[in-house]
Amino acid sequence: SQTIHQWPATLVQPVGSPLSLECTVEGTSNPNLYWYRQAAGRGLQLLFYSVGIGQISSEVPQNLSASRPQDRQFILSSKKLLLSDSGFYLCAWSVGSRTSNQPQHFGDGTRLSIL
Amino acid sequence: AQSVTQPDIHITVSEGASLELRCNYSYGATPYLFWYVQSPGQGLQLLLKYFSGDTLVQGIKGFEAEFKRSQSSFNLRKPSVHWSDAAEYFCAVGALYSSASKIIFGSGTRLSIRP
């Protein structure tokens, strides 16, 4: 069966510091991968998605970037964190498909607090 | 453009009572619809999905949802709620973009259970 792992679970970082959040998927090949941010009490905002190695699409301009160095690895990064980057970050995967009927499966999230 | 509306931000029901969470969508073609549940500090778990066929779909944890095309609705129901059902519930519609399937989420409904 497929599993998705995110780490760390929680992270406290000072303003201006770099960031690296990692997500890996097991048990499937060539998945679509997604990064979301969820602000407190809010819905989900899609940040990035990827349909293959090295292929990253950004949904919103921001202080963050994403990379996919391996088929089942998705990394969210920042060179200098801002206070507004605080939030709950979720990674998700779906079957690699160009149809719209694929559900997404989520990791347990990373709680990021910026001080 | 595709969109999902969950008109109720917060609902409180008594344990053992029935539940209905509302969801309306806007989509130009046959929608693919999903309901997810998120416990505090956790990722999202897929409850059920509708692609086609029978408009009443059964999910996990005793939930069901009914697709009504004439009303553009996909309401989630449960005959008798348990305290463990307290969580945030997200309705979502699958969207097809040029390179990947995406999911558009509603803003969520927080469910509280009264003892």
- Chosen for mutation from A91, A95, A101, A113 (greatest number of chain B CBs closer than 10 Å) is A101
What was the pLDDT predicted at B98?
Answer: 52
C-alpha dihedral (B65, B66, B72, B76), degrees to nearest 10: -30
DSSP string, chain A: --EEEEE-SEEEE-TT--EEEEEEEES-SS-EEEEEEE-TT--EEEEEEEEETTEEEESS-SS-EEEEEETTEEEEEESS--GGG-EEEEEEEE-S-SSS----EE---EEEEE-
Q: Does B107 touch chain A (CB under 8 A)?
A: yes
The band of B24, judged by pLDDT with boundaries at 50, 70 and 90, is: very high
CB atoms < 10 A from the CB of A25, how many? 21
CB atoms < 10 A from the CB of A32, how many? 23
Computed over every residue of chain B, the mean pLDDT equals: 92
To the nearest whole percent, how much of chain B has pLDDT over 70? 96
The band of B53, judged by pLDDT with boundaries at 50, 70 and 90, is: confident
Among B43, B100, B106, the residue with its CB nearest the CB of A107 is B43
Q: Could you give the CA distance from residue B3 to residue B7 in angstroms, rounded to a whole number?
A: 13
The band of B96, judged by pLDDT with boundaries at 50, 70 and 90, is: low
> CB–CB of B96 and A104 under 8 A?
no
CA B35 to chain A, closest CA, distance in angstroms equals 10
What was the pLDDT predicted at B99?
Answer: 59
Per-residue pLDDT tens digits of chain A, which is 115 residues long:
899 999 999 999 999 999 999 999 999 999 999 999 998 767 899 999 999 999 999 888 788 999 999 999 999 999 999 999 999 999 999 988 766 678 899 999 999 999 9
B23's CB contacts (< 8 A; 6+ apart) are B4, B5, B6, B33, B35, B73, B74, B75, B76, B91, B106
- Chosen for mutation from B2, B91, B102 (greatest number of chain A CBs closer than 10 Å) is B102
What was the pLDDT predicted at B54?
Answer: 87
Q: Does A56 touch chain B (CB under 8 A)?
A: no
> CB–CB of B96 and A100 under 8 A?
yes
Among candidates B48, B6, B2, which has minimal Cα distance to A42? B6
